[in-house]
Amino acid sequence: MALRKEHDLHKRRFGRNLGVGLLLGSFVVLVLALTMVKVTSNGFQFPNTQSSTPSSTQSDQN
Amino acid sequence: MSDASINASTLRDEISREDEASFGDYFALLKPRVMSLVVFTAFVGLLAAPVGVHPVIGFCAVLFIAIGGGASGALNMWWDADIDQVMKRTKGRPIPAGKVEAGEALSLGLALSGLSVIMLALATNIFAGAFLAFTIFFYVVVYTMWLKRATPQNIVIGGAAGAFPPVIGWIAATGTMSVEPWLMFALTFMWTPPHFWALALFMRSDYDDAGVPMLTVTHGRRATRVHILVYTILLALLAIGTAFSGIGGPIYLAVAVVMNALFLLGAWKIFRRNEDNSEEDNFKAERSFFKLSLLYLFLHFGAILVEALLKPYGLGGW
């Protein structure tokens, strides 16, 4: 079976999909970079999850 | 279904797909030229702030402010699709050209507005995010939906929305407000009316046809020329006064003196002319004033940037 001739429409759709793909990929990289900067900055503190609820503290003591 | 009807419907589909939007058409919804002004002024606001910002956070701040500006552009095109179709300057935009549906522009604008506000708040601080949200609201609801078609002062008020980016940039860096970002705001705010009124003078039939109450339509072209001169005088006082503030310095002062002298001269020429003079040379003075206005804003913000960049080396400022 002969392949369908490539139409300008297909090029446009490919360009659109490629653009969206690259944007999403860049966004992921950007969020990762932003997270790294925030986490490694001097003022960053991890939230204290050890003594958050009385029941968990009690069970820890037991 | 017969072969003939299948062929006819396929042909119809093919024809409608001929106009299918490309990636560039969606990008055009974000008004890239306006976005470049937003990027530049927000960047200057961020760097002029007396606080160091991590380059990644600074990049994110400018990017999300720009996306917020682009989102308001898409929402503006969605709302103004009817008048964009009438005006020569705007009828090539993606919606009137039939490339993008108005609903798509609305969806894109809303999605990018939410994304930019949340991401700016997360990357910098909640105050900056909230201010960006207010700017989008101001441009889309207050200017585009309400005042643009209601008052000849539309440009004056709409100018405020375009003037917010350096303030957001400053807040993104410092988390607080002070006088200096508002001087940058005032500079863009006062610059916008003469810039757009000069455009309205030589694109005259556009606004008439669209029924947008520009000053040229409601108060006449003579009054518009007077307004351009008055605003330019006030702008010159403000621009030169800014030289003696925390964001000014000798370089800025030199630029401001030269550019404001040229700008005042241009406004004076426009004021002295009448319609016959303008028609004769195809609005030469108005066109060159409009071109000069672009350079004017770029050089003022460029000078503020240079002063800020020189400060760490003991130069820049007074």
Chain segment B85-144, per-residue pLDDT in tens: 988 889 999 999 999 999 999 999 999 999 999 999 999 999 999 999 999 999 999 999
Of A9, A18, A33, the CB nearest to B56: A33
A9 touches chain B (CB under 8 A): yes
Question: How far apart are the C-alpha atoms of B253 and B257, rounded to whole Å?
Answer: 6
Give pLDDT tens digits for B262-316: 999 999 999 999 888 888 888 999 999 999 999 999 999 999 999 999 998 888 7
Please indicate, yes or no, if residue B29 is contained in any of the structural domains.
yes
User: What's the longest Cα–Cα distance across chain B?
Assistant: 83
Across all residues in chain B, what is the average pLDDT? 91
C-alpha distance from A53 to closest chain B C-alpha (Å): 27
Q: What percent of chain B has pLDDT over 70?
A: 94
Name the residue of chain B whose CA is nearest to A11's CA: B22
CB atoms within 10 A of CB A21: 10
What's B123's domain CATH number?
Answer: 1.10.357.140
Residue B173 and residue B206 in one domain? no
Residue B46 and residue B98 in one domain? yes
Across all residues in chain A, what is the average pLDDT? 78
Residue B119 and residue B46 in one domain? yes
Of A9, A16, A41, the CB nearest to B23: A16
Name the residue of chain A whose CA is nearest to B55's CA: A37
Q: A34 vs B63: CB contact, 8 Å cut-off?
A: no
Instruction: Give the mutation candidate from A11, A38, A44 for the B interface (greatest B CB count, under 10 A).
Output: A38
Residue A42 per-residue DSSP state: T
Give residue B217's pLDDT. 84
Question: How far apart are the C-alpha atoms of B214 and B247, rounded to whole Å?
Answer: 34
Mean pLDDT value across residues A30-50 = 86
Single out the residue in B134, B154, B177 at which a domain terminates.
Answer: B177
Residue B134 and residue B269 in one domain? no
Q: B123 vs A34: CB contact, 8 Å cut-off?
A: yes
Residue B58 and residue B139 in one domain? yes
User: pTM of the full predicted structure?
Assistant: 0.86
Residue B80 and residue B206 in one domain? no
Residue B190 and residue B240 in one domain? yes
Please indicate, yes or no, if residue B11 is contained in any of the structural domains.
no
A34 touches chain B (CB under 8 A): yes
- Between B10 and B125, the more confident residue is B125
Single out the residue in B177, B194, B210 at which a domain terminates.
Answer: B177
Give residue A55's pLDDT. 52
B145 token code pair? 């939906």
**Which of these ranges, A6-20, B26-40, B70-84, B286-300, has the smallest mean pLDDT?**
A6-20
Residue B222 and residue B141 in one domain? no
- Between B97 and B318, the more confident residue is B97
Q: A37 vs B18: CB contact, 8 Å cut-off?
A: no
**pLDDT at residue B255 greater than cutoff 90:** yes
**pLDDT at residue A57 greater than cutoff 50:** no
Residues of B in contact with A13 (CB under 8 A): 20
Q: A30 vs B60: CB contact, 8 Å cut-off?
A: yes
Question: How far apart are the C-alpha atoms of B54 and B57, rounded to whole Å?
Answer: 5
Question: How far apart are the C-alpha atoms of B141 and B147, rounded to whole Å?
Answer: 9
Single out the residue in B177, B194, B218 at which a domain terminates.
Answer: B177
Please indicate, yes or no, if residue B303 is contained in any of the structural domains.
yes
Say how many domains are in chain B.
Answer: 2
Please indicate, yes or no, if residue B16 is contained in any of the structural domains.
no
Please indicate, yes or no, if residue B17 is contained in any of the structural domains.
no
SS (H, E, C) chain B: CCHHHHHHHHHHHHHHHHCCCCHHHHHHCCCHHHHHHHHHHHHHHHHHCCCCCCHHHHHHHHHHHHHHHHHHHHHHHHHCHHHHCCCCCCCCCCCCCCCCCHHHHHHHHHHHHHHHHHHHHHHCCHHHHHHHHHHHHHHHHHHHHHHCCCCCCHHHHHHHHHHCHHHHHHHHHHCCCCHHHHHHHHHHHHHHHHHHHHHHHHCHHHHHHHCCCCHHHHCCHHHHHHHHHHHHHHHHHHHHHHCCCCCCCHHHHHHHHHHHHHHHHHHHHHHHCCHHHHHHCCCHHHHHHHHHHHHHHHHHHHHHHHHHHHHHHCCCCC
Instruction: Give the mutation candidate from B56, B59, B118, B120 for the A interface (greatest A CB count, under 10 A).
Output: B56
B25 token code pair? 């058409």
B15 touches chain A (CB under 8 A): no
Question: How far apart are the C-alpha atoms of B163 and B159, rounded to whole Å?
Answer: 6
Give pLDDT tens digits for B184-197: 999 999 999 999 99
> In this structure, are residues B81 and B129 in contact, taking their beta carbons and an 8 Å threshold?
no
Residue B164 and residue B206 in one domain? no
Q: What percent of chain B has pLDDT over 90?
A: 74
Mean pLDDT value across residues B140-157 = 91
Mean pLDDT value across residues A10-29 = 92
Burial annotation B155-187 (CB, 10 A radius, 16+ → b, else e): bbbbbbbbbbbbbbbbbbbbeeeeebbebbbbb
Of A9, A12, A34, the CB nearest to B56: A34
**pLDDT at residue B163 greater than cutoff 90:** yes
> In this structure, are residues B208 and B253 in contact, taking their beta carbons and an 8 Å threshold?
no
Name the residue of chain B whose CA is nearest to A8's CA: B18
CB pairs under 8 A between A and B: 28
**Residue A44 class from Cβ within 10 Å (0-12 exposed, 13-18 middle, 19+ buried)?**
exposed
Query: Confidence class of residue A29 from pLDDT cuts 50, 70 and 90?
Result: very high
CB atoms within 10 A of CB B315: 13
**pLDDT at residue B236 greater than cutoff 90:** yes
Of A15, A34, A41, the CB nearest to B60: A34
Q: A37 vs B22: CB contact, 8 Å cut-off?
A: no
- Between B6 and B77, the more confident residue is B77
Residue B38 and residue B155 in one domain? yes
Query: Confidence class of residue B158 from pLDDT cuts 50, 70 and 90?
Result: confident
A29 touches chain B (CB under 8 A): no
Residue B153 and residue B295 in one domain? no
**pLDDT at residue A26 greater than cutoff 80:** yes
Residue B242 belongs to what domain range?
Answer: 179-318
Please indicate, yes or no, if residue B7 is contained in any of the structural domains.
no
Mean pLDDT value across residues B56-75 = 97
Look up the ipTM and state it.
0.77
**pLDDT at residue B15 greater than cutoff 60:** no
**pLDDT at residue A3 greater than cutoff 80:** no
